[in-house]
Amino acid sequence: PFELIASGRADAVLLAPKEGLARAAERGSAKMQLLVDASNASKARAVEAYAKNIISAAAVREYGARGSPALKFDVRVLYNPGMESSMFLVPGVMGMLVCLITIILTAMSLTREREMGTFETIVSAPLSNAEVLLGKTVPYILLGVADAALVVAAGYFLFGVPVRGALWQLALAALVFVITTVSVGTFISTVSKNQQQAMLGGFMFLFPAILMSGVMYPVENMPDAVIAAAYLDPLMYFVRLLRSIMLKGGDTYVFWTNIGALSLMACFTAALAYRRFRQTLN
């Protein structure tokens, strides 16, 4: 049951006696336990209320209006015993900040050089296209990873969001995500003629990415078309990783599934950015 909740395949698990409630009640030991994933506090409250109503209705049907005096119902809240909404919101906001900073800074900086006329100096330098691109993007990748470390520390010390998983999982997730967002920012800079266009392009990517990422609302509650589009959103995978690592301890299935999807996106966006950057240099 714990593995189902940790991997995100279930929001709650109901444990009941193997021999059935009727026989257990006859022996005076009818106990039921509800395990609830409270990483999303509002969803956990709704699940708990629905489960209690369903069990109460079933007990009334089985034993009459008086119910079963021997039936004991216990609720165990996992990952967020205090049912604090900040546990759900803070990791999402942390991912949003990293995404915002890396995309906007990368897109604006490369476009600024074109406006200032220093881009011609880069073109005339005896460097390959890959070396020029690495020289322009690696500093922002390092800045993005440092920013991720800062927001994780702020979430821990200021808002009390725990880090129950391994730090290497957080570091790897942040690195792959930052490579993806820096590549997106680089691509935006190559199709923009000035800083205003770069900023507009960055926000045109950010607004739908944030809405579809599950930062504020669960992706599962969105329309089917939006859910399908959300699977192309790198921020959704990063937010899932942050919540899994920080709140649930970093389930292996969740970690490698989302890291794999992010890695594919990183490779695709990096290749696209390199191709467009090479065309711009030429």
Q: Which pLDDT tens digit goes with each residue over 48-80?
A: 888 888 877 776 776 655 555 556 778 888 888
End position of a domain, from candidates 18, 47, 78: 78
- Same structural domain, 176 and 217: yes
Please, which residues bridge with residue 35 across strands?
13, 76
Contact 185, 106 (CB under 8 A): yes
- Is 143 found in the same domain as 30? no
Cα–Cα nearest to 32, from 43, 18, 16: 16
Q: Structurally, how many domains does the chain consist of?
A: 2
Q: Of 78, 98, 130, which residue is a domain's last? A: 78
Judged by DSSP in three states, 231 sits in: coil
Residue-wise pLDDT for 222-274, tens only, equals 889 999 999 999 999 999 999 999 999 888 999 999 999 999 999 999 999 88
Domain that holds residue 28: 2-78
Regarding whether 255 and 115 lie in a shared domain, the answer is yes
One domain for residues 95 and 174: yes
CA–CA dist 192, 188 (Å, integer): 6
Please indicate, yes or no, whether residues 122 and 258 belong to a single structural domain of this protein. Answer: yes
pLDDT at 24: 55
CB distance 45 to 37 below 8 Å: no
Q: Is 233 left (phi over 0), alpha (psi -120 to 50) or beta?
A: beta
Nearest partner of 113 among 208, 224, 195, 19, judged by Cα: 195
Q: 60 and 105, same structural domain?
A: no
Q: Could you tell me if 60 and 158 lie in one domain?
A: no
Is there a single domain that holds both residue 65 and residue 131? no
29-33, 37-41, 117-121: which is most confident: 37-41
Helix (H, G, I), strand (E, B) or coil at 249: coil
